[in-house]
Structure 1
């Protein structure tokens, strides 16, 4: 396995995102949303976008190190898109289908890098 993150964006539906989040929780990776949070607040019919941005290494779980810290464009039940982070195992990310055209990938990356999005934590403050 290469330790470099892939320079691609992948789309996931809510059920797959919940699965990836549960995997992060089970592996005790730092960036996850907590059990049940996505099921309660993420739009169940939305497409969300993951973009790996750095290799993350942990000493407390060497069997899951390295893994990829991904920026996440997350659509909430109220329709708002927010910025979040999710730690994903490389094999789990690689297993996701590659279905986005280059223009969509570029647009998602620009939105995630450009700022202006509420973070998941900020959104949660106003939507308890």
Structure 2
């Protein structure tokens, strides 16, 4: 059994984060910074994208600068997944793309009036 690893996190317009692209290093990663710098926001974004919840409860304050005209976009790219975790039947609404030998991308897009799920697309090149 392999342990899935996050290899890229992309967050747009979520709470205190306007735009973030983060590629965690291999091994243990620590988020260090002063209070209200976005550490918990990054973890909440990952949870929203990969967590079991099918519906996310968001409010106006979850949008960057409370600008509800811009959607919240969260994409998490994983690698080293076991075959059952790549199941379109189980996770199809959340899977963005999957290259069985490389990566799986999960994307969640949230708007003020509801949620949009992205479908499958071409696998990432990296």
- For the aligned pair, the TM-score class normalised by the smaller chain equals under 0.3
Scaled by the length of structure 1, the TM-score of the pair is 0.26
Structure with greater helix percent:
1
Scaled by the length of structure 2, the TM-score of the pair is 0.27
Structure with greater strand percent:
2
